[in-house]
Structures are given as C-alpha cells and as structure tokens.
Structure 1
Amino acid sequence: MQYNPFGKLGTRVSRLGFGAMGLGGVFGAFDEKDLIRSVLHSLDQGVNLIDTARNYGESERILGLALKEWSGERPFIASKIQSKGPGNLGWGQPIPVETAFPKGWLRESTETSLRLLGVETIDLMQLHQYWPQWDKADYWMEELLQLKQEGKIRGIGISLPDQRHDLALTLVQTGKIDAVQTVFHIFDPLPLDSLIPICQENNVAVIARCILDEGGLTGFLKADTVFEEGDFRKNYFDYLPRGVYIDRVNKLKEAFVPKYAGSLAELAIRFVLQHPGVTTAISSMHVKQYADENIAAAGCGPLPDDVFEEIRRHYRWVRNLYETKYWN
C-alpha cells in the first residue's frame, strides 16, 4: 500500500481508502458481523482512511463497532454532516445554506457522529453538499472552525454534489478548507482539467469517489441484472438504455484488458490513482472480496503514460446518471 500526506493536515493516508457507504445497506443487506470483518480486514491490509457520513444509515455505528475491535494504529476517519434539506434537492440543485445547514446543526450532527463512532476527534469533517453561493454566509465556516478549535474535528472539507467538479475552485484558493471530495472515474475525468491541479497547488487534499462508477466499471452489469429494493443503484444505470452503458464498458475492456490490466476494475483504479494530485481514492469494500481485489489493483502501480492519456482523451463519456434520482 502506498501513502500520501493528507494536504495541510500532514497525516499519511493510504492511496486507496475504505468508502463506508456500503456499511449502511445501500448496496443490499449484509450481516453486520461480516461488515465489521470487512473493515478490520481492510485495515489489516494497510488501508488507513475510512470515509463515512451521517447520511449513510447505520454506517457510522457499524464503523464504531469495528474501531472498538481494532487494535492497530488508529485510522484516519472522515465523515460528513448530514444536510437537513428536503429529499435530494440539495444534491441536484442549489438550496439556501440556511436550509441545508441551519445554525447549530453542524455541531449537532458532528456530536452525533462522534458518539456513534466512539472517537473524541474526527480527522476530517465535510459538508455533504456544497454550493459556492453559500460563501456569502460565513456562519457555517465559523461553526466548523470552532469545532476544530475545540479538537472535535481536525480538518474541514466539502463533498461536491454529483459531477459539479468546478464548484469548489474559488473556495480551494481561499485556503479555508483542507479537502475536496469529488466524483472521478474513467468515464468522467474532468477533475483532471482544473480541480485536481488547483487543489494540488493549494495543498488541498483530493478524495476521489465513485471510482468504479457505482460498480459499473467492474463489468458486473448485464442486461438482465436486477437490483434489490432499496439498493442505491436501482435505476442508476437506466438513465440511458442499459445496453449503451454495457457497450461502452465492453469497448474499454477490449482495448485494455488484459494487455494493460488484469481486470476492468484494476484499470479503473489505476487510472484514478495516476495523477499525484489525487490524495486518496475511496472504494466500497464492505465485502472482503472487493477489498482484496481493490487493494491488489491499487498496488499494481501507474499505467503507461500513453495509455493513461488515451483513456483520458478518447474514452470520456460524461453524463449525470444521478439525474434519474433527482428528477425521475
């Protein structure tokens, strides 16, 4: 496992992080003991960054149980403050910051996260959505800075809504935040254009998420794949006829697997980790097999530069599949 300093915070974190959304049941039901074992197994394999959120169902509670069992060095814990906005509107379109994060709510949500995780300090606390017009109101940043001063959080970050990669550029350059989390994968390499280089220039950590496009870039999706009720991905891949997505995936596989990567998932993970400005890339590893495969892929090293550039330039396919969740 390779490690990077986490921006201005300096803590060395694994380049592949544990995305804990899967602990909350959004990808189907799993036995709680198995979920705890998956966390412990990943930590034992060198993963030392875990990203969770108040909005991820039971994720923080289950993670807290795993941390109680873990006897090794304490991992870097990142969480997110749950928005109070109605439904998914705050992710799909702007709402007032006073609606999403009213005064006092950031502290209340943080205190709940601390209690469920069973820790005294959260290394990175992120807003679970962000819109640049919120910068006109300074109270939310003041509340986060106060929590930082009290030692309840170490760093401040934002998680960008869906694929709006450039929303954070001005905030990054103010020096007020420590990290930005954004969607980044083979089909959507746009963070490479501006966000990642500007974060790198300002020593702001980048957390890449959805690096396997909710699993689509593993090649698992078939024309007859059925998702359980309650699975986050139900309708996700049906923004367009499913065959269109499968065809794109197959073209990637034919061009680069196994010549340059042992699997499509390996190709996707190595692509995201190629740029040194990506501090860590988080992947759902709530299943031990996923953890082993993803950790092995992260250890394979960079792709040849010409292969990376070919993928970046000729296989981008930017589309917002989340729109089916926001506007049906």
Structure 2
Amino acid sequence: MKYRTLGSTGLEVSVIGVGTWQFGGEWGRTYSESDASKIFAAARDSGINLIDTAECYGDHLSESLIGASVAENREDWIIATKFGHHFKKNFDRNQVIDPESVVKQLEDSLRALRTDYVDLYQFHSLDDQAFATEGLWEALAKEKEKGKIRHLGTSIGSNTNSHQVKASPDVGSEVIQVVYNRLDRAPESEVLPTCQEENLGVLARVPLASGYLSGKYKPGAQFPSNDVRNAWHTDNFRDSRLREVEKIQREEVPEGTDMAQWALAWCLKNPAVTSVIPGCKDADQTRKNAAAADLLE
C-alpha cells in the first residue's frame, strides 16, 4: 500500500480506501456484521486505513456495521462520515442541515461507529444555500474544539461545483470529495486545480463509475430491481456508457492488466487526488482494489 497526506489535515491515508454505501442496502444486497468484518479484516491486512461512510447509508446502518467491525482497533483507522441527510427508506432521504440537527446527527454517528471522534466530518453533497446555512460551520467548529471531530470536509454534489470548493477553506473545511473517474473527467477543468492551489485533500468517489469501469459488464447488462443503478440509469444511458468502457479497455488498458485496478490507478495518477474510495462487495474484491496501488510504481 501507498500513503499520501490528506491536504492540510496531516492525516496519512492509504491511496485506496473503502467506500461503504453498499452496506446501506441500496446496491441490491444486504450485509451482516460478519460480512463487514471480513471486508475490514482484508482491508487492514492490505494496508488500507481509510473508511468512508455516511449518515444515510441506511439509517446509520453502514456506520453501525463499521463500528462493530473496527471497535477493537479504532486507532488504526481514519474514519470519514457525512452529515446533511436523514434516511427514510431506500432511495428516499430528507435534507437535515440546521445546526442543532447536524450536531444530533454527529452524536448518532459517533454512537453507531462506537467511537468518541470522527477523523473527517463531511458536508454531504447539498446545494450552495445549504452550504451557507447560518451557524452551521460555527456549530461544527465547536464540536471540533470538543475533540469530537478532527477535520471537516466538503463532499460536493455536482463535480463542477467550484463555489463550494473555493469557499471550503473559509469555513474550515480541508478536504473535498468529488465524483471522478475515467468516464467523468469534469473536475479536471476547475475543481481539482483549485484543490491543489488551496492544499485541499481530495477523495475521489465513484472511481469505478458505479462498477462500469470494472470491465465486468457489457452493453445490455441488467441490475436487480433493488440496485440503485436501476433508479439512476436508463437502459440507453447504461449501454452508451458500457460501449465507451469497451473502447477504453481496448485502447487504453494494457494487455494483461485488470481493468478495475487500472481505473483506480488512473484516478490516482492525477496529482490532485489523494485517495480513491471504491465500494467493495466482499473481502476478495477489497484485496483486489488494494492491489491497484501497485500500478502506481
């Protein structure tokens, strides 16, 4: 594994992290504590130390599975979670952004994670009006003073939202999370250069383009009815993306190289990117993701 400094936080994070949206049940599968524990054991053995989760991956469900899995070696992990949504049911959330409610969300997240602090607490992909909520960042600064938050971050919803990126240092946010992958390069125009200029750490989410860049799927692929990709993507969109993936695999991926590993390393070769946070369905896929760090040599 390789490690990079996460912007101005001083945190040394593995270049491959573990994304955990799948634990919330919106990707066509449910996870037990045993399933999650095996994933984090594989991650730890592979040198991964970064976990990304959120309050609304289930109703703190993902956080609960993480907490049960890493409580005995909490100090070995850098845990990033988020605030701003309340889970109602799969694919349905309410926005929760007033300072009092966000502080309650923090307490609920700490309880679920079985910890007394989070390493990175991130604004969760809301609009500019929510970002400017009166008293929000001041309330979070107070929680940081108490030691319940080590660092603040901004997960931007639109991967071209340069406003929130530029405003982040002013509110004490040191890290930007953004969708970035070989199929979606929009952050390269302004977001990523601004992050470099401001010394903001960058977590690249969806680095495998919702699994399309794994190379496993061909045009015409279908997903289970309870998989979020059915809610997001029409058949035409899916097939168009998968035809583009076939072209990339044919023209850009070296022969004999696993496409998913190549796609993760592709993101990391951008000097602005600190770490990628792919999801993983099981321990084997976790180890396979971790091996992508070898392609950086």
TM > 0.5: yes
Q: What is the one-letter code of the residue matched to 1:236?
A: W
Match of 1:166 among 162, 165, 168: 162
Aligned with residue 270 of structure 1, among 265, 271, 276: 265
CA separation in 1, counterparts of 2:35 and 2:9? 32
Q: What amino acid does structure 1 have at the position aligned with 2:198?
A: N
Q: 1:130 — aligned with what? A: 126
1:298 and 2:296 correspond:
no
- Structure 2 counterpart of 1:282, from 262, 277, 284: 277
Please name the residue that 2:42 is paired with.
41
Q: Give the stretch that moved more between structures: 284-293 or 118-127.
A: 284-293
Asked whether the 8 Å contact 1:266–1:294 carries over to 2, the reply is yes
Residue correspondence of structure 1 range 35-184 to structure 2 within 5 A:
35-57=36-58, 58-70=61-73, 73-84=75-86, 100-134=96-130, 136-174=132-170, 176-184=172-180
What is the identity, as a one-letter code, of the residue corresponding to 1:112?
A: D
What letter is aligned with 1:119?
Answer: T
**1:321 corresponding residue in structure 2:** none
Partner of 1:222: 218
Give 1:241 deviation, angstroms. Answer: 4.8
Structure 1 residues 262 and 117, CA gap change in structure 2 (3 angstroms): same
Structure 1 residues 171 and 31, CA gap change in structure 2 (3 angstroms): closer
Question: Quick one: distance in 2 between partners of 1:153 and 1:104?
Answer: 16
**1:305 maps to which residue?**
none
Q: 1:84 to 1:64 in 2, by over 3 A?
A: closer
1:113 offset after TM fit, Å?
0.4
Quote the Cα distance in structure 2 between the aligned partners of 1:283 and 1:241: 21
Q: How many residues of Structure 1 are paired with residues of Structure 2 in the alignment?
A: 293
The corresponding residue for 2:17 is 17
Residues 201 and 273, structure 2, Cα contact 8 Å, conserved in 1: yes
Give percent identity, aligned residues only. Answer: 29
Residue of structure 1 in register with 2:27 after alignment: 27
Note if contact 2:152-2:175 (Cα within 8 Å) is conserved in structure 1.
yes
Q: Check 1:34–1:136 CA distance in 2 against 1; reply closer, same or farther (3 A cut).
A: closer
Amino acid corresponding to residue 12 of structure 2 in structure 1: R
> One-letter code of the match for 1:282?
I
Structure 1: distance between partners of 2:197 and 2:282: 36
The DSSP-based 3-state class of the residue aligned with 1:64 is: helix
For residues 229-257 of structure 1, what are the alpha-carbon distances to aligned partners after superposition, in whole Å with 9 as ceiling and x for unaligned? 32122243426354322211111111023
Secondary structure at the counterpart of residue 122 of structure 2: strand
Give CA deviations for 1:162-198 in whole Å, capped at 9, x if unaligned: 4344242331353621111110000111212221221
The answer on whether the counterparts of 2:87 and 2:93 sit within 8 Å (CA) in structure 1 is: yes
Stretch deviating more after TM superposition (225-234 or 268-277) = 225-234
Q: Partners in 1 of 2:28 and 2:72 — Cα distance?
A: 24
Q: Is the 8 A contact 1:90 1:100 kept in 2?
A: no
1:263 offset after TM fit, Å?
A: 2.1
Q: Secondary structure at the match of 1:188?
A: coil
CA distance in 1, matches of 2:250, 2:193: 31
Please tell me the root mean square deviation across aligned C-alpha atoms, in Å. 2.5
Which string of whole-angstrom CA distances, capped at 9 and with x for unpartnered residues, describes residues 198-242 of structure 1? 112212111110000010111222345332232122243426354
| Mapped contact 2:218–2:243 kept (Cα < 8 A) | no
* Paired amino acid for 2:53: T
Provide the TM-score with structure 1 as the length reference: 0.82
Q: Distance in 2 between matches of 1:19 and 1:140?
A: 26
Q: Secondary structure at the match of 1:157?
A: strand
In the alignment, does 2:204 pair up with 1:202?
A: no
| Amino acid across the alignment from 1:28 | G
**CA 1:153 to 1:294, structure 2 compared with 1: closer, same or farther past 3 Å?**
same
Residues in 1 aligned to 2:284 and 2:233: alpha-carbon distance in whole angstroms = 23
1:284 is paired with a residue of what secondary structure? coil
Which residue pairs with 1:318 in the alignment? none
Matched-pair contact (CA < 8 Å) for 2:13–2:49:
yes
The answer to whether the 8 Å contact 1:82/1:127 transfers is yes
Tell me if the contact between 1:90 and 1:129 (Cα under 8 Å) persists in the aligned partners: no
Alpha-carbon distance between aligned partners in 1 of 2:176 and 2:157, rounded to the nearest angstrom: 11
Distance 1:180 1:225 in 2: 32
Q: Report the AA paired with residue 81 of structure 1.
A: F
